[in-house]
Chains A and B, each alone.
Chain A
Amino acid sequence: MPSYRVGIIRFPGTNCDIDTWEALTLVPDLAPVWVSHRENNDPDLSALILPGGFSYGDYLRTGSIAAQSPVMNLVTDYARRGKPVLGICNGFQILSEAGLLPGVLLTNNSRTFLCQEEGLVVDRTDTPFTGLFAPGSRIALPIAHQEGRFFLDPDQLQEIERSGQVLVRYSKNPNGSVHDIAGVTNSAGNVAGLMPHPERRTRAGLSAPYGFPFFQSLALWLSKHLSDKENPTH
């Protein structure tokens, strides 16, 4: 079996990098690789993950400074070429700021940070990260954010609903996101953003490891598409 190299991008202030690394090492076919925020050259990876944290201290606006980093040229290039790109929490915020995903993430309705487990429904299952779920699967993952209220104006919201870009929804809306949206994809489906943290639920413990299939899905997707990497499916 080949090992697919998955880049984990570290910005100053990223703090879920090691958790994401550990999650990837649990999947036999995936090999995590660090990618610096300064990276200019293409290290020829199979996929990219932007982990959670507080890039640049969340100063100015969450994700806004990181979205201007040199490495974002690489991210944009991968996104355009159909390679899988996943942003988790702050990574989602950065991808939104970079215009690679629809919508913006505003301050929670509670105006406070919220760290709690949320019930979720997986809406879209033909993406590189959700292939192992059945449509409508009910799972639970933790959220941990202060700016996680997904917002999009009604027209665009209708548009992403119509094109099936909603990845996961909250069962019980914790932060005021429109249409209970917890994760979205771009129109091609290869770029995904998740406010919940799958990397925090990959091992046996008091909570079920519902996060693990997101990473297993990626391995499966890569094994199906690797030979076809210059001609993405979508």
Chain B
Amino acid sequence: MTDQPISRFKIPAHEMERIRTLLGREPNITEEAVFSALWSEHCSYKSSRVHLRNFSSKGPRVLMGPGENAGVVRVTEKTGIAFKMESHNHPSYIEPFQGAATGVGGILRDIFAMGARPVALTNSLVFGSLRQPRQLTLFRRVVAGISAYGNSIGVPTIGGEVWFDERYSKNILVNAFALGLVAEDGIMSAIPPKKNLVAVYVGNKTGRDGVSGAAMASRSFSGEDSDLRPQVQVADPFVGKKVMEATLLIIREKLSAAIQDMGAAGLTSSSVEMASKAGMGIEIDVARVPLRDFTMEPWEILLSESQERMLLLVEERHVDKILAIADEHQVAAGIIGNTIPEPVFRVRKGPEHYAEIPVAYLTDEAPLYERPTEERGSFRSSGSNAPSLAGSHSITELFHLLLEHPNGASTEWISRQFDFEVGTRTILPPGHDVAVVDLKEDDHAVAIAMAGTSHPLSKDPEKGAMLLVAKCVSDLAAIGAYPVGLTDCLNFGNPERPATMSDFVLAVNGIAKACKRLQIPVVSGNVSFYNETDGLSIPPTPILATCGVLADKRTLVPGRTDLSGLTLALVGSSRDLALGGSYLDWILALPESSEPVPDVDWNTLERLQPFMSALAFDRRLVATRSVGRGGLLRSLLQIVSGSDSLGVALSFPDLENPLQTFFSESPGRIVLAYFPEHEPIIERMALEFGIPWLRIGTTAHSSWTIRYKDRDHRTKVLSDQLSLLKRRFATSLSNQMEEFS
């Protein structure tokens, strides 16, 4: 064993040993490459699979669940929505423009591989502090990359979230979500029937870009990773669009038995995974793969992650038609192999054999770890009597503090770079908490709510994760939509560290519990581990996207108004308004503060959605907004953003804890704006539905005043300069970006 070579593909020694045992021999270089890809964390989910079984993907509306390119949920009698979220963190850090653009391209291919036409994109972006020039560049280029791909392929980017936090400066997060529409009888699968099928390649030619990308995304960065650039793929949205149209046509004509995107680990994973699901083997002849670079070795062809490629398994009789469609769309295509009865993955280059591996060794026999966990100590100790977070700051000062930071700012600088209207389905554009897409069928619309704040999870991974689910549901309820399915992208550090693994397990449990409580199926998802550089991991950061249905788009209530004199009320549970994990908590930089993460009032939350739908259906509301990042005051500032001169005049009864009232982000509270004459009915309905209701003031021209009584019954009046608040909100991100451009 002394001269046992170490893996050329950075396969850990103990896994190499297992490969030798399975094969009963030394793998050759091609085989080793194949193992390195399929046994990578990215492809095998070896550290997470055990825990992901906690998620329930069952539900009466679920048409396709995990194991497919994307989940599909029925939203009308004939139409389903296919949706999924994926990370592209590692590539985006190395080459932000291409990394982000290929992230968008990849998630779109997952959607149209299902036969669904993509109609919406959203994203979640987490970066380090913009005070660092490197972060400014990364952020600017990531936004440009998303814009370049989405705008060009003609799928609108209609929403998203952004967060800047020092702890992500070496591991930025770029998560992309896509949603498509598919007729129920037109759904494509990645699971082929068990019969002899021909493997047809459709799309961009294969080059050296992205060789071993999946392996890269499955380990931590170190200071010496400046040589990783060739492992980043290059996007071509123009070819992407042609491939999309060709694929959708092939599916519409029912010419293919199964389709998978050649994403992570490219040709290898798509061919092996589809063969495995069919219980078959597959033989690939790399000499027949359309190439950009004819000097490529077989292992490079197998591992290339060149973009805009699809692998189809089809019946012999349909091959000519498929090749003709590819030709008509001016994309490369070719027969590159076929499924075989012996369950092996065989790679040839013409007559020469390069690899022969039983499929099961690559899939079922891939390592599966239940990695050790160790809870981080501090977060469980929820101090009962939270010390005053605010110290000597006044409420007014704290509010300004929230607005001055880019995390509290309007995200218009980002969203205006995205074509959010192409396709003319965008009912609620960016700037609302929820994005709404017109189905153009029976007045139905689909709403997308995202949540991905890590701060509550840093304090308590399980409760924090539950908050994220509750936040999505509150956001949907605010516009009168009900949840039908959830997808997630779980961004964590190094799973080989017990503390990180513990965070992961707790967060998964939290999401699973909350989803079961609310009966929301988790239909697809993605895990991104190894967001760690030089031994420093990111905080636990699951990003969720919950899709909801709006039965009648005409009853949609927007998140802003320009009308003065509307009554403002707060509905929902105020049972636990603890500030732990809030934006205020974060900005005051007291991560060790003992302020606990709030508990969700699930019973009230469940009643909130039907209550809001009933109000919306009766057209009682002018605008609504769920209390989100920054709390009530920031949400109010957004609700009056329909006009530059519109503000609020608020009047509260005795406030036991003004800080909590104004800054808590406890989910399940919604601000309503309505004409005063609707109040008696709204109040009565609140009583009927068992929803706490409190009138808090009115929208008012050129005013920002808040009147309340403190616990000693002394009247306090806070006024502020409305134009200054609005300017802060509008510019604290854009100024930062434009100052240094």
Write the residues of chain A forming the contact surface with B, with a CB cutoff of 8 angstroms: 12-13, 15-16, 18-19, 22, 52-54, 56-59, 111-116, 142, 144, 146, 197, 199-200, 202-203, 205-206
Contacts and interface: CB of A to CB of B under 8 A. Distances in A.
Contact of A112 (B239, B330, B417, B420): B417
A144 B422 contact: yes
B619 interface: no
B415 interface: yes
A52 B419 CA distance: 12
A56 B238 contact: yes
B378 interface: no
B427 interface: yes
B139 to A, nearest CB: 13
B147 A200 contact: no
B153 A15 contact: yes
Contacts, number: 74
Contact of A57 (B238, B420, B558): B238
- Identify which of B144, B154, B418, B424 gathers the most chain A CB atoms within 10 Å of its CB: B424
Given A13-B152, A113-B418, A19 B147 contact: no
A180 B556 CA distance: 35
Contacts of A18: 423
B237 interface: yes
A144 B416 CA distance: 8
Nearest to A54: B152
Contacts of A197: 421
Interface in B289-335: 330
A12 B330 contact: yes
A12 B296 CA distance: 30
A212 B236 CA distance: 34
Contacts of B422: 15-16, 19, 52, 144
5 contacts: A59-B238, A113-B147, A113-B416, A197-B421, A199-B424
B455 interface: no
Interface residues of B, number: 28
B415 A115 contact: yes
A80 B664 CA distance: 66
A18 B245 CA distance: 13
A197 B239 CA distance: 25
B669 interface: no
Name the 5 nearest CB pairs between A and B, nearest first. Answer: A15-B154, A57-B238, A54-B152, A144-B419, A113-B417
B558 A206 contact: yes
A197 B151 CA distance: 14
A210 to B, nearest CB: 14
Contacts of A12: 238, 241-242, 330
Residue picked from A52, A53, A199, most chain B C-beta under 10 Å = A53
Contacts of A59: 238
Given A57-B239, A146-B151, A197-B421, 16 more contacts: A12-B238, A15-B241, A19-B423, A19-B424, A53-B154, A54-B151, A54-B152, A54-B241, A56-B238, A58-B238, A113-B147, A200-B421, A200-B424, A205-B427, A206-B427, A206-B558
